[in-house]
Chain A
Amino acid sequence: MKLAGARILLECLKLEGVDTVFGYPGGTVINIYDELYSFPEIRHILPRHEQAAVHAADGFARASGKVGVAIATSGPGATNTVTGIATAYMDSIPLVVITGQVPTALIGNDAFQEVDIIGITRPCTKHNFLVKNVKELAGIVKKAFYIARTGRPGPVLIDLPKDVQVAVAEFKYPEKVDIRSYRPTVEGHSRQIEKAAAMLLAAKKPVIYVGGGVILGNAAEELRQLAETLHAPVTTTLMGLGSFPEDSPLSLGLLGMHGTYYANMAVTNCDLLVAVGARFDDRVTGKIPAFAPHAKIIHLDVDPTSIRKNVRVDLPIVGAVQDVLAKLLKILEAHRDGVEAFTSGVQPWLDEIDAWKEKHPLFYKESTQVIKPQAVIRKLRELCEPDAIIATDVGQHQMWTAQFFTFTKPRTLLTSGGLGTMGYGLPAAMGAQAAFPERQVIAICGDGGFQMNLQELATLVQSQLPVKICIMNNNYLGMVRQWQELFFDKRYSQTVLDLPIDFVKLAEAFGATGFTVKKPSEVEETIRQGLATPGPVIMEFKIAREEKVLPMVPAGASLNEMVLAS
């Protein structure tokens, strides 16, 4: 049967199992929107800005493990998606973003709402496609989903001119994809893995350093087994939080710029660093020559370009982390004697780490006068559901969440790690709530980031997405202010957000519920009430204004040169 391009697109989405899309209509996607009436199985959510549509699709993908889908019109609709796409690209999140385009005959003519979105997004997508012929459409959609979710995942953009949406073609969705120029390595090289096992068993002071790859590659269970088999300590990056239970005695929490004292000391003093699905970001390594200076480094990653990009690596293993860790576990099972010798040999190292933990635990000075943000985060953890999904914005509240929340399950923290996108938290929470209507979804924001996408309150109310929003309000762009305090002589240039916004009225204006709290004694009750209130809720915490995120490794310093909380 011959179908119009717009119809073919939606048939493809249906066959890919897409049940939720986030999008914004416009002139060049109007045909797609008209066809939506015929697809009741696809829920369309209407954010109030295309950037939020892509962040929502991203939050949906991070929380569910599925490919997120967003639709935007040509021109400004398409350019508005760029921040969302770049955010997903930096954190390897599988998305398919569909943009309308002016008719093929007008491309290059500076037509109304025309922009070269293929050119604009080339460096921030895993791949992108301009569909020039309706006959190619189904094959391209199939490839787009395949590319987005396989190998190192990432966003893929499909630019679909209006005339291609109108043109008709025989519809047949390909069953298989074979791209001769794209065959990601999944299976790790057995001999390399055997070498890794030998290096592990020979180590006295190992540290496992885990990134987002373990969550994206669904390898948290294998990781836990490895750590527990060997009694090896585990530190995670921001993206890796949730991959390993932070309430385990083997957990060192976060490493890097705002990592724990003991994680950074362990990395600095270890003799073997096993990097799993992590990419040695500058916020993690600090000064490279001083990073793990005594260690041999094993690096497991699905993306060969991550290996030896920033640091020397003694043993690279390219492959899906789940496959590699499973094989590694099998080898260790066969070497029970070696493992036993290892676990008794590693005890002095664990004792050394425990001494660091005791000496400088994560710390903040409690107060009965002002609300400490760290206390709010801890209380929130105590009172929220155990499988609650947390989305954050970017800045101080993000780091306090990373330090003090105690994540124990994969896909429970949604945060913009690589790009550091303010305004991400609220729409990402919205996407996660759409994926899991029954679970508790909480957005933790600063007052700055919240204001970047606050229009999404409308979407929450309209689409009945009962996200709970905690605003850590210090009337500052807190992280920049912290840098200005430490490195710019307290000259708070343009970081004071001095307008006292009434967030309760704001919530009410959108039909949501708002709470505000100033006194530490009222924090618990507010969180209880806020979480128990049906529908979207804002909880505003007026926090200690000049509280800092500590420990902190100043940019360019080595990991053991931390400024500690006192």
Chain B
Amino acid sequence: MRHTITVLVENEFGVLSRVAGLFSGRGFNIDSLSVAPTNEESISRMTIVTRGDEQILEQITKHLNKLIDVIKVIDFTDGSAIEREIALIKVTAEDADRAEVLRIVDIFRANVIDVTPKSYTIEATGSPSKIDAILELLRPLGLKELVRTGPVAIGRGPKGWKN
């Protein structure tokens, strides 16, 4: 099962290696990982998408908690978090296809951020499944290059992670 885990860590030297090394050393999967500082300068926040059964997920969260630099681990089970991801997509766009690309961009509320006579570069934001959907439609037109950030996630409701 796919899980999105948020890990709040001390913004210290080497902390990304500790987390990545834990996953590789123990044979856990990482589908995606994104990391950046938070509103508190000393804390960074990672969003990790991983897969595994219940027992593996329990081990992943326990081992993350065991790392000295990890302040908090939140496993967002389905529906408890909002996830967003950005994709930058360079797609072939010539002749009649140019209008078709723009229609798809419009439907997905994406933006064209670079234009040439032969291509569009598109910025799309949304849940990972929305990104998958726009890619599905653009792929037949000729995807030249794709970069995705991997999702970031935040819990629903009024509470912050601290309470």
Contacts and interface: CB of A to CB of B under 8 A. Distances in A.
Interface of A: 118-119, 122-123, 126-127, 130, 132, 147, 179-182, 303-305, 308-309
Nearest to A127: B68
B68 A180 contact: no
Nearest to B10: A181
Nearest to A318: B62
A123 B13 CA distance: 16
Contacts, number: 36
Interface residues of B, number: 19
Contact of A118 (B14, B55, B68): B14
Given A122-B18, A181-B71, A305 B25 contact: no
Given A132-B13, A304-B62, A305-B63, 13 more contacts: A119-B14, A119-B17, A122-B14, A123-B21, A123-B25, A126-B68, A127-B68, A147-B68, A180-B71, A181-B9, A181-B71, A304-B66, A308-B59
A122 B68 contact: no
B43 to A, nearest CB: 10
A179 B62 contact: no
A462 B17 CA distance: 42
Contacts of A309: 59
B85 interface: no
Interface in B1-38: 9-10, 13-14, 17-18, 21, 25
Contacts of B66: 303-305
Interface string B60-88: 00110110111100000000000000000
Nearest to B14: A118
Contacts of A304: 62, 65-66
A308 B58 CA distance: 9
B72 to A, nearest CB: 8
A132 B63 CA distance: 27
B21 A122 contact: yes
A304 B70 CA distance: 15
Given A119-B17, A122-B14, A181-B10, A305 B68 contact: no
Please report whether the interface of chain B is mostly helix, strand, loop or mixed according to DSSP: helix
Contacts of B55: 308
27 contacts: A118-B14, A119-B14, A119-B17, A122-B18, A122-B21, A123-B21, A123-B25, A126-B68, A127-B68, A130-B13, A130-B14, A132-B13, A147-B68, A181-B9, A181-B10, A181-B68, A181-B71, A303-B66, A304-B62, A304-B65, A304-B66, A305-B59, A305-B66, A308-B55, A308-B58, A308-B59, A309-B59
Interface of B: 9-10, 13-14, 17-18, 21, 25, 55, 58-59, 62-63, 65-66, 68-71
A126 B63 CA distance: 12
A305 B65 CA distance: 9
A42 B33 CA distance: 47
A123 B22 CA distance: 8
A305 B59 CA distance: 6
Contacts of A132: 13
B62 A305 contact: yes
A126 B13 CA distance: 16
B68 A182 contact: yes
B124 to A, nearest CB: 35
Nearest to B13: A130
A304 B13 CA distance: 26
Contacts of B18: 122
Shortest beta-carbon contacts, A-B, top 7: A127-B68, A181-B71, A305-B62, A304-B62, A182-B68, A123-B25, A305-B63
A278 B49 CA distance: 32
A135 to B, nearest CB: 15
B21 A181 contact: no
B21 to A, nearest CB: 6
Contacts of A303: 66
A362 B163 CA distance: 57
Contacts of B70: 181
A143 to B, nearest CB: 9
A126 B22 CA distance: 12
A309 B66 CA distance: 14
Contacts of B65: 304
Nearest to A184: B66
Choose among B14, B17, B68 the residue with the greatest number of A CB atoms under 10 Å from its CB: B68
A229 B110 CA distance: 71
B59 A122 contact: no
A303 to B, nearest CB: 7
A464 B117 CA distance: 85
Contacts of B58: 308
Nearest to B72: A181
Contacts of A122: 14, 17-18, 21
A123 B63 CA distance: 12
A119 B15 CA distance: 11
Contacts of A123: 21, 25
A29 B157 CA distance: 54
Contacts of A179: 68
A415 B18 CA distance: 29
Contacts of A126: 68
A443 to B, nearest CB: 32
A166 to B, nearest CB: 21
A149 to B, nearest CB: 14
B95 to A, nearest CB: 51
A122 B17 CA distance: 9
A181 B66 CA distance: 9
